[in-house]
Amino acid sequence: MPVRTSVDRLTRHLLALALLVGGAAPALAGPPMSVAGSATLTTPVTSDDVSAAPPTQAAAPADRAAAPAAPATPAKGADSDYKVIVYPVLAWLPWMGVDVTLPQPPPCTGCPPGVGSGTASSGLSGAVFAAFRWEFGRFAVSSDLNWAGATAEETTPLVNVKLDLFTGVVLGGFEVVKALYIEGGTRYRGLDMRATVGPFPEVEWKPDRFDPAIGVTYRPLLGKHWRLYTHADWAGRGGNGVSTVTGAARIEWVPIRHLALSGGYGVTTARIKGELERESIRLDYTFHGPIVGLGIPF
């Protein structure tokens, strides 16, 4: 009987505890939470977090597009755009024409009356140049030396003129517009003439002199490997006593950096007056013909 009473008392206590626990459980648990609800309650993302976040793959092309382009490598200058050129040889193949008046010859038995004068022309003759040109900024310096030799002959009336011509010029220039230079300097001319007119004795004359010179040069680029060269100058001291006019036009091809092949046409004409043994003497001459040669540009 005592054992049974103890079991009944224990049963009543357990039942009371179960009722107490069952009633308090809903208050302790609170409202039910779903999986979705738990996701919405995660820590919110702030602007600092966004800025700290690494860029996504989609932003990479935009970053690459915004990167500055690499600086372009300057294009190499044209082979024909040189500033210094030396012409070790320019061959000139001219024809020569002369008009000469020799001093009045002394009276002689059987000699026809009149003044010893006449005109004549030559076939293809020989001549050679050496020259250089240097350009710096808008200024230029150029020079050339020339030798030409020819014999002009006419049979009726008899005229025979052998002429060796030596010329040189030094010019300084200023570029007034693109590739066009106005120039000034001095020109030297020396000649050795041996002439016969009619039955009169041969006359030898060797005048030489320096004259002021003015000129113009135009040398534009025609392409990466091509350049046009044109030049003209006048030398003298005014009046119609002594003067020289020289001109040339050439095309230059630069196949490699330090080689220029040149070809064109040149002309020089002069009027010279003087005295020989106290007698007047006059010579007009013209050389004209093709020019070919090579230059070394830098």
**CATH number, domain with residue 131:** 2.40.128.90
Asked if 123 and 87 count as a contact pair (C-beta separation under 8 A), the reply is no
75 vs 110, more confident:
110
110 vs 249, more confident:
249
Residue 27 resides in a domain: no
Residue 173 resides in a domain: yes
* Total domains present in the chain: 1
Residue 65 resides in a domain: no
Mean pLDDT, residues 274-295 taken together: 92
Residue 180 lies in domain: 88-297
Out of 99-113, 149-163, 172-186, 187-201, the most confident range is 172-186
Residue 54 resides in a domain: no
Mean pLDDT, residues 96-105 taken together: 87
Query: Cα–chain-centroid distance for residue 259?
Result: 14
CA distances, 53 to each of 45, 47, 56, 65 (Å): 11, 10, 9, 21
Q: What angle do CA 265, 146, 273 make, to 5 degrees?
A: 95
Q: Which segment of 98-102, 112-116, 216-220 scores lowest on mean pLDDT?
A: 112-116
Q: Mean pLDDT over all residues of the chain? A: 79
Instruction: Please state, in angstroms and rounded to a whole number, the distance separating the CA atoms of residues 191 and 15.
Output: 150
Percent of residues, the chain, with pLDDT higher than 90? 56
Mean pLDDT, residues 129-137 taken together: 95
- Is the confidence at residue 113, as pLDDT, over 60? no
Encode pLDDT of 149-177 as tens digits.
999 999 877 899 999 999 999 999 999 99
The one-letter code for the residue type at 10 is L
- Is the confidence at residue 45, as pLDDT, over 60? no
Encode pLDDT of 6-40 as tens digits.
545 555 655 554 454 455 444 444 544 443 443 34
Cβ atoms within 10 Å of 16's Cβ, excluding its own: 10
- What's residue 80's pLDDT? 66
- Match 């000034």 to its residue by tokens: 184
Residue 240 resides in a domain: yes
Mean pLDDT, residues 275-293 taken together: 92
Q: What angle do CA 189, 96, 146 make, to 5 degrees?
A: 35
Encode pLDDT of 224-260 as tens digits.
999 999 999 999 987 667 899 999 999 999 999 899 9
- Is the confidence at residue 70, as pLDDT, over 70? no
Residue 10 resides in a domain: no
Residue 60 resides in a domain: no
Residue 152 resides in a domain: yes
